[in-house]
Each structure stands twice: as structure tokens, then as C-alpha cells.
Chains A and B, each alone.
Chain A
Amino acid sequence: MIQTITYAPHFISTVVLVGMMMVFLSPRSGLINNIIQMLGGEPIFFMAKKEWFIPLYILSDIWQNTGWNTIIYLAALTSVNPELYEAAIVDGATKLQRIKHIDIPAILPTIVITLIFACGGIMNVGFEKVFLMQNSLNREVSDVIATYVFEQGLIRAQYSYSTAIGLFNTIVNIILLITVNKIAKKLTDTSLW
């Protein structure tokens, strides 16, 4: 049940997600501002305030993907030998102790791999959501490399300049990936290759 509900947002499209944000956060009729006004506050025009761009981006991402991202840990936990738990229970271990000594060591490699992937993706923050959330009012905080490439390349038709930016970005990414992978290998003996 919890799974079914928390996985669901993952399948909602970026357009719908950003659309929902705009609807909920609308200064005149949005749910959030209605609640703020009910509590006696002033309505905030979230989508136009540049200090709100990053919190909104992150919060909506947490809302959409946290449930889905648990799957990979769930998969890692199902491969733990049940005898370990039984033995721990017989020895009188509490749940917290079992989590600390069985579950966390069991999923540590998965955590490390996920971290490596996340670092490899640092330079590739989702273009789609940024592009959709972007407007002239939050432009100065919302531009990422991908939206810049899009603008320079397809709108201003500077093909070689924007291709070079894209390639440079990929190289930075690969370097990041390799570095984090090396560090992870040294510290935890887990790595991608």
C-alpha cells in the first residue's frame, strides 16, 4: 500500500509535475497560498521569486522520487540472509541494533554505488524540470548548463559553441565519476568497475 502510493509520483510527467506546482503555488488561487492566507499570512508568488527556485526544485524532486528510489534498497535488503536476523533475535538484539549491524552493512555497497551515480550526474541536473520551471524572473538562479546549451544552440543557432559546451560538460562529468569511484574504492571497497 505504502509502496503503491509512494511509487506513483515517479510516473507523473515533468510537465504535469511543474504544472501541479504552478497550480498549487499560484498567488491568487493556489492551495498553498490559500492556506497561508487562512493562517493570516501574505500570499507569496513562489514561481517568480528567485530565492524559492532551488527549494522548490529539490522539494518537488523529493516528493516525486523518494518512494521510487527505495526500490533499489528494498532489492538489496531482500537478499540479506534471514538467518542473520534470527540469530540476532535469539541473541536479544533490538530492532535498532539489527538495523545498525545487519541492514546497514548489507546495503552499504548499494548506498556507495548510488552515491557514485549521483555524483556522475551532478553536471546533468534534469534539464526538463529546470526548463519548465524557468521564467524571466528566476532566470539568474535557474540557468543550468543544459538550458544554456539549448538556448545557445537551438535558439541562437550557435552550433559549434554549444556543442563544445556540451562536450566539455561530459568530460567534467566523466572526471567526477572516475574520481568519486576511486575515492569510494579506497574507503569502502565498493566501486562501479
Chain B
Amino acid sequence: MSGLNTKLARTKEDKIFDAVNITLLSLFTLAVLYPLYFVVISSISDPAYVSAGKVLFVPKGITFEGYNRIFSDKSIILGYKNAVVYAVLHSVFGVFLTMTAGYAMSRKDFFGKGFFTVFLLITLYFNGGLIPTYLFINYLGWINTTWIMVALGAVNIFNIIVARTFIQSTISNELLEAANIDGCSHLKIFFMIILPLSKPIIAIMILYYFVGKWNDWFAALIYLDDNKKYPLQLILRNILIVNAPSTEMTRDAQEYATQQRVTELLQYGIIIVASVPVLVMYPFVQKYFVKGVMIGSIKG
């Protein structure tokens, strides 16, 4: 918006407004950026300097020992592998279900469309809650399987509605009719027309499902018992939060000190390692965000 109004009259008031605006935004951006930057520089600094408060703007006593330890730790590597498997399978499965459901819901000739729409929307407001869901999954025998991590949350109603609206508003009915007259089956229409034309929305969906699963530790905490199946975030929780030295005052001094040194060495690097896959993905899909939200906000 700011592009077109700078050319014409700029009153004194406008200049003050601009100055205040730029200052506030810069401050906010700095406030958001600094903690992230601090984690990065601390992860490659000597932990002794970091905990003494000597690292503030530039890394000091550069060392990669933290990263060495992280990448030689078997449980972290395994957790990384598990998290990648869960997140990738979950995204593929989730996007497939979302797009197929979205396509079906977008067709005016879909039998029982109104019923299914209400059926899906109810779950946005009502769900069984934690315990019934747990009991149900227990009854299905999915506890402690890879499958539960892939399947849980793979149908996101909100995403289905976004996909449906996207298909409805960008792919013209004439195109589908023409394809139909040329003898395209529903499957062929879906794979040859709908999917190629829905790339922006698919990109956002992949990001949402991937990030959602990558960052998910709670499902793993509840539904997995075998620590060989734990995803990275749960292992991270155990290192950063559960075993954080500050919460356990009762340990004997020797063990306490060792524990604290290890944690201090690892903590910054591990934050980076755990966030990198997501932060790498996100600039590529960022340009679709506003579009995705706009579509999502159109109802009906």
C-alpha cells in the first residue's frame, strides 16, 4: 500500500508517522530476531563464555564441539531419522487426503455434499477430547506404531475447506466439463487437471502438515512407549526441559555439575538442529502465505 502514496503530498504529519512507524517496526523486528541470532552465535561459542554473559553480539571462542556431540549422539540421530520419516509420510498422506476430499467437496454434483460439509465442520468445534481419543486408538491397537504418528491429524478439516475453496475459485467449471466430454474419468481429472493447477495450495499444505508433525511431541509422548520410536522433539524435550539442571535441585553436586556442563554445551546447537528443516522449507513457500490465508478466510 505504501508505494502509491509516497509520490503525492507528504505532509509533516506523514513524515512523523513514517518515522514512528519505521522505528516501531524495526524495534519489533529486532526483538524477534535477537533471540534467534543469540542462539546461533551461542551454539558456536565456548559455553563458558556464553554462561558468563560474554557472548552478546559476536560469537566468542568458536568451537563446534556442541555440534560434534549432537551428531555423535545415537538417540538424537535416531530421533532425527524418526521425525523425518513421520513428517514426510504424514505430509504425503495428509496432502493426498486433503486434496481428494477437497476436490470431492468442490464438485457441485457431489452426492450428499451438504451433509458431508456439516459432518466435517462439526469436528472443528466438537471432538472427543484427549481420553476418548486415547482409548479409541488403544482399542484399534495403534499404540506404539509408526502408523499412529503418520495417521493422527492427517485429515485437517480446515485444510480441506481451504483446498475446496481454492479448487472452486481457481479452476473453472468449463474446464472440468470439457475434460469430461473428452472422456476423462474422475481420477484422470483429479491427477491431470486438479493437482497440476493446485500447486500453490499444495505447497502450503505440505508446509503445514510437515511443520505440524515435525514439531509434534505430544502425540509421541502419549502414543509411543518405545524410545527407539521417539521423534526428535520428544528427545529434545527430555534434554532441554525435563533434564534441565534448573528444575532438579536434589541431585548431588558432582552429577549436577556434569549434567549442567553437557546441557550447556548442547542446548544451543540442539535448538538450531531441531529447527533447521522447518526454517529451510519456509522461505520457499512464504510467497503463498497471504494467498493461502485469503482463501481460507472465504467461507461458504
Contact = CB atoms under 8 A, between A and B. Distances in A.
Contacts of B230: none
A85 B246 contact: no
Contacts of A153: 130-131, 134
Nearest to B31: A63
A94 B6 CA distance: 11
A179 interface: no
Contact of A67 (B32, B53, B214, B260): B32
A154 B132 CA distance: 11
Contact of B38 (A19, A31, A90, A149): A31
Contacts of B267: 19, 23
Interface in A1-47: 2-9, 11-16, 18-20, 22-24, 26-29, 31, 34-35, 37-38, 45, 47
B222 interface: yes
B246 A45 contact: yes
Contacts of A80: 1
A110 B297 contact: yes
B130 A162 contact: yes
B218 A177 contact: no
A14 B215 contact: yes
B5 interface: yes
Interface string B1-34: 1001100110101100110000001001101110
B236 A19 contact: yes
Given A82-B4, A89-B5, A92-B9, A15 B131 contact: no
Interface string A96-108: 1010000000000
A150 B215 contact: no
A185 interface: no
B35 A24 contact: yes
Contact of B294 (A3, A79, A86, A174): A79
Given A2-B25, A167-B129, A22 B135 contact: no
Given A11-B211, A13-B215, A149-B130, A18 B39 contact: no
Interface stretch (B171-179, B182-190, B276-284): B276-284
Contacts of B132: 163, 166
Contact of B279 (A2, A8, A20, A92): A8
Given A7-B282, A20-B35, A159-B131, A94 B125 contact: no
Chain A binding surface SS class: helix
B126 interface: yes
B29 A162 contact: no
B50 interface: yes
A170 interface: yes
Given A63-B32, A67-B32, A162 B237 contact: no
A3 B282 CA distance: 12
B275 interface: yes
Interface in B22-58: 25, 28-29, 31-33, 35-36, 38-39, 50-53
12 contacts: A16-B233, A20-B39, A23-B268, A67-B32, A75-B293, A77-B1, A80-B1, A150-B130, A154-B134, A163-B131, A166-B131, A174-B125
The 6 closest A-B pairs by CB, nearest first: A34-B53, A29-B51, A166-B129, A13-B215, A19-B240, A153-B131
Interface of A: 2-9, 11-16, 18-20, 22-24, 26-29, 31, 34-35, 37-38, 45, 47-48, 63, 66-67, 71-72, 74-80, 82, 85-86, 89-90, 92, 94-96, 98, 110, 113, 120, 127-128, 131-132, 135, 146, 149-150, 153-154, 159, 162-163, 166-167, 169-170, 173-174, 177
